[in-house]
Structure 1
Amino acid sequence: MERTIVNPVIKDQVTFKQTAKDMRGGVTRLEVTLMPGGGTPVHYHRNFSETFIVHSGALTIQLKKRTLILDAGHQLTVEPGRLHRFTNTTAAAVRFTTIVEPGSEGFENALRILYGLAGDHQTDEKGTPRSLLALAVVSNISDMRPGGAGALMIPFLGLLNFVARISGYRRRLVARYCVHAQ
Structure 2
Amino acid sequence: MKASELIDLGNGLEIHFCLDAGDTNAQFTLFKVVIHPNAKVPAAHFHENFDETLYGLKGSLTLRVDDQLLQLNPGDHFFIKRGRIHSFINETTETVEILAFANPGVFTADYFKDILELMKAGAPPDRERLKNVMLQYGLVPVAS
Fold match by TM threshold 0.5 = yes
Structure (1 or 2) with the greater strand fraction: 2
Alignment match, 2:104: 102
Q: CA deviation at 1:5?
A: 1.2
Alignment match, 2:87: 85
Q: Secondary structure at the match of 2:94?
A: coil
What do residues 7-49 of structure 1 show as CA deviations (whole Å, max 9, x unaligned)? 12x1311111000111110111011101113322221111101
| Residue type at the aligned position of 2:116 | Y
Structure (1 or 2) with the greater helix fraction: 1
Counterpart CA distance in 1 for 2:50 and 2:84 is 10
Percent of pairs identical after alignment?
Answer: 24
Question: In the comparison of the two structures, how many residue pairs are matched?
Answer: 140
What do residues 99-143 of structure 1 show as CA deviations (whole Å, max 9, x unaligned)? 1111124x421211112332342x52xxxx2262x2133122221
| Residue type at the aligned position of 2:132 | V
Structure 1 runs (4+) deviating above 3 angstroms are: none
- Superposition TM-score, scaled by structure 1 size: 0.70
Counterpart CA distance in 2 for 1:104 and 1:118 is 23
Alignment match, 1:48: 50
**CA pair 80-131 structure 1, distance change in 2 beyond 3 A:** closer
- Superposition TM-score, scaled by structure 2 size: 0.87
Alignment match, 1:116: 117
Unaligned runs of 5+ in 1: 151-182
Over the aligned positions, Cα root-mean-square deviation in angstroms equals: 1.8
Alignment match, 1:157: none
Alignment match, 2:139: 144
Alpha-carbon contact 1:108-1:142 (below 8 Å) kept = no
